[in-house]
Amino acid sequence: MTRFDTYGVVVTGGARGIGEATARRFAAEGAGVLIADIDEESAARTAAAIRDDGGRAEHAACDVADSAAVDAAVARAVAAFGTLDVLVNNAYACSDHREDFSEERDEDWLRDLDICLVGSMRCSRAALPHLAEAPGGRGAIVTVGSVNGLSYFGNHAYSAAKAGLVSLTRTLAQQAAPLGVRANLVAPGTIRTPVWDGREKMLEAAARAYPLRRVGEPADIAAAVAFLASTDASWITGVTLPVDGGILGSNAGFTDALAAEFAADTAQA
């Protein structure tokens, strides 16, 4: 028997990248997984690939900005698996970074906030009554945030939305606890996902900034999500777990500047 046998799981933005890796991880551990994604064709392909590998998976077209679509996706998961035990809030939007803050656009902020933050609220609101009915207190919400919500890495609107998810997770943890449902957040650093396709040089440069000297892989985040969703984490709720290769604990710019100054002083001595 594997960790998520008999579970029903919804993964938003599950067609590719972190969402796909997470869906595959749950399916590999026995769960039935609904891949909810605005790109229905890609969601269908991912679900079919999981089934081809012997897993249980369905898909649903789902725009998390649309409450009706969210409600329908949750209902489809319950109908398909007979239960909903885990919601993974992974869908996101990320507007372009603007060096000049005076050029920030209302429409970018409204979109990023609506998809990342309000979208996670919509999904959690729809799922919570079903999660509360999950047997054995195994109901859980795991939200995929970002180190951008914890420190400065650019992409201002996206970062603000991800910071909001930290607060939302604390709120959900308190609201859901009496129902036996836990809520936690994983905050990834730079992850090698399709959004980086064609920009391998940027990933190589980013890797050098990480203490572990590599960027993350989708499977790194999927593993953390699966842990927080599992009964192994049954006494953990309301936390933000960085999965970041150590980047939040480092200050490369400061230490590099001191190292350069130290080298100059040594050379003069």
Question: What does the pLDDT read at residue 259?
Answer: 65
pLDDT band at 263 (very low <50, low <70, confident <90, very high): low
Query: Does residue 1 lie within any of the structural domains?
Result: no
What is the average pLDDT across 207-235? Answer: 96
pLDDT band at 254 (very low <50, low <70, confident <90, very high): low
Whether the per-residue pLDDT at 224 is higher than 60: the answer is yes
Tens-digit pLDDT profile for residues 160-217:
999 999 999 999 999 999 999 999 999 999 999 999 999 899 899 999 999 999 999 9
Percent of the chain residues past pLDDT 70, beyond the cut: 94
Query: Does residue 21 lie within any of the structural domains?
Result: yes
Question: What does the pLDDT read at residue 183?
Answer: 98
The lowest-confidence range among 19-23, 78-82, 257-261 is: 257-261
What is the average pLDDT across 214-224? Answer: 97
Active-site pick, 7, 92, 152, 158 = 158
* pTM confidence score: 0.93
List of residues 6+ apart from 58 with CB closer than 8 A: 32, 33, 34, 35, 47, 76, 77, 80
Degrees to nearest 5, angle at CA 93 with 208 and 192: 30
Question: What does the pLDDT read at residue 247?
Answer: 95
Whether the per-residue pLDDT at 260 is higher than 70: the answer is no
What pairs with residue 213 in β-bridges? Answer: none
Query: Does residue 155 lie within any of the structural domains?
Result: yes
Tens-digit pLDDT profile for residues 28-85:
999 999 999 999 999 999 999 999 999 999 999 999 999 999 999 999 999 999 999 9
CATH code (residue 47): 3.40.50.720
pLDDT band at 101 (very low <50, low <70, confident <90, very high): confident
Query: Does residue 232 lie within any of the structural domains?
Result: yes
Query: Does residue 36 lie within any of the structural domains?
Result: yes
Task: Name the nearest CA neighbour of 159 among 195, 109, 203.
Answer: 109
Query: Does residue 47 lie within any of the structural domains?
Result: yes
* Total of domains in the chain: 1
Query: Does residue 2 lie within any of the structural domains?
Result: no
Whether the per-residue pLDDT at 222 is higher than 80: the answer is yes
Tens-digit pLDDT profile for residues 108-141:
999 999 999 999 999 999 999 999 999 988 999 9
Whether 7 is catalytic: no
Question: What does the pLDDT read at residue 160?
Answer: 97
pLDDT band at 100 (very low <50, low <70, confident <90, very high): confident
Backbone torsions φ then ψ of 32, nearest 5 degrees? -90, 130
β-pairing, 240-243 vs 86-89, is unpaired
Question: How far is the C-alpha of 206 from the C-alpha of 260, rounded, in Å?
Answer: 20
Residue 261: give the domain boundaries.
Answer: 8-268
Maximum C-alpha span of the chain = 75
Whether the per-residue pLDDT at 253 is higher than 80: the answer is no
Question: What does the pLDDT read at residue 264?
Answer: 65
